[in-house]
Amino acid sequence: MPLRRSNCLAILVALLAIGAPVASAAATTPADVQRGLRQLVRAPGGPPGAIATIYRDGKLTVLRAGRADVRRARAPRANDHMRIASITKAFTGAVALNLVRDGKLGLDDTIGRRLPGAPPAWAAVSLRQLLNHTSGLPDYSASKGFAEQLTNDPHGYVAPSTLIDWVREAPLEFAPGSDYRYSNTDNIVVGLMAEAATGESFARQLEKVVTGPAKLRQTSLPNTIAIPTPILRGYVVAPGERPEDISSIYNPSGAWASGGIVSTPRDLNAFIRSYLGPRFFARAQQRQQMRFVPGGESVPPGPGRNSAGLALFRYRTGCGTVFGHTGDFPGYAQWAAASGDGRRAVTTSINIPAPKGKLLAQLRRVQTMAVCALFSK
């Protein structure tokens, strides 16, 4: 049965938009996480497929349940391509903090200085405030222009400047630096500031700074709806209906530096280890990055207690603390995190949009179990 337009729009507008206790780290194993993935897939409204990767002691363990494609009896794989949604923001942060390290950008550089054509009301907003979502910029994904694009031409290319134009006349949500509110516009502006500072495209900077050095050969920033094969297909699941494939329902150019990257579970685990390493910038920038904003929750919420840093969230769980990012895109809910030294890392991917209510709580319990397994003796 076709996905109704109203439901489709609700999913797309959510584009980039504390679980119950689990066993202790000492008692939790990858087998427990595997069982949790199976239970998630079997739950009412659960995803057709789920995959987790756990990296520790130099070894990557891949745990899978369900199907990557409902038409075929194949479980998700570590080399399946998928939309990583707002984990893209961590990649954008890697580029920005690399430029800070090299003196090409400063955390206190303002939009007015770097992007003189931006809305005048944004002029005093700093790069730091963009990276930790204390900018007050209105979220373009909640705009009328965004909704019209999804309705009228969801497969069409959208330029970053158009995303800005959709909220150009909207007032700031609050005085910069005075509050926290997750906004996808923040990272669009960070990408534009990086381009202005270097004269190079954001895609080229991703390649030079992140995907090339970290050898992420299955990671890309597309501007068309196509996803490379093999694919972890994304779905929407409605009660009593067959899952509907929405992997390519929306052109990811409309998410760009905020949520447009395609990657794989294997590459995503390698990225987050390098990010916390830190491989892409120096310890001086990491110290700035890890100044956390109380109450800054990732979208969707990750396991445990969330706090926002610079293009990074801290997840404090009963089994230990990890650092990373979540993501929500039509057909996909993502999470990637690593220990503070980058030596241990975990990812979870499910092929439905971020769930709510009991199913979200169940997902967060599975993620917490994965953290426990990550730090088990």
Task: Give the per-residue pLDDT at 339.
Answer: 98
Are 187 and 85 contacting, i.e. CB atoms less than 8 angstroms apart?
no
2 pLDDT tier (thresholds 50, 70, 90) = very low
Give domain 5-374's CATH number out of 2.30.30.60, 3.30.420.40, 3.40.710.10, 3.30.1490.20: 3.40.710.10
Task: Give the per-residue pLDDT at 25.
Answer: 64
Regarding pTM above 0.95, the answer is no
Task: Give the per-residue pLDDT at 23.
Answer: 53
What pairs with residue 90 in β-bridges?
Answer: none
**Amino acid in the structure at residue 227:** I
Average pLDDT over residues 100-105: 98
Please tell me the distance from the alpha carbon of residue 294 to that of residue 339, in angstroms, as a whole number: 20
Residue 16 reports pLDDT greater than 60: no
Residue 330 reports pLDDT greater than 50: yes
240 pLDDT tier (thresholds 50, 70, 90) = confident
10 pLDDT tier (thresholds 50, 70, 90) = very low
Please tell me the distance from the alpha carbon of residue 34 to that of residue 364, in angstroms, as a whole number: 14
221 pLDDT tier (thresholds 50, 70, 90) = very high
Task: Give the per-residue pLDDT at 27.
Answer: 85
* Structural domain spans, the chain: 5-374
17 pLDDT tier (thresholds 50, 70, 90) = very low
151 pLDDT tier (thresholds 50, 70, 90) = very high
What is the DSSP code (8-state) at residue 141? Answer: G
Are 58 and 342 contacting, i.e. CB atoms less than 8 angstroms apart?
no
User: Which residue in 197, 200, 251, 196 sits closest to 226, CA to CA?
Assistant: 251
217 pLDDT tier (thresholds 50, 70, 90) = very high
239 pLDDT tier (thresholds 50, 70, 90) = confident
Average pLDDT over residues 347-367: 97
Average pLDDT over residues 197-210: 98
How many alpha carbons lie under 13 Å from residue 195 in its C-beta half-sphere?
Answer: 15
Close Cβ partners of 275 (under 8 Å, ≥ 6 residues apart): 90, 93, 94, 312, 324, 338, 342
Average pLDDT over residues 64-81: 97
Q: Which residue has the tokens 């990750």?
A: 302
Are 245 and 233 contacting, i.e. CB atoms less than 8 angstroms apart?
yes
Residue 20 reports pLDDT greater than 70: no
Please tell me the distance from the alpha carbon of residue 353 to that of residue 15, in angstroms, as a whole number: 9
Q: What is the pLDDT of residues 258-313, one digit of tens each?
A: 999 999 999 999 999 999 999 999 999 999 999 999 888 999 999 999 999 999 99
Average pLDDT over residues 21-37: 82
Q: Which residue has the tokens 């109203």?
A: 6
Task: Give the per-residue pLDDT at 39.
Answer: 98
Q: Which three-class secondary structure state does DSSP give residue 82? A: strand
Calculate the average pLDDT of the chain.
93
Task: Give the per-residue pLDDT at 14.
Answer: 43
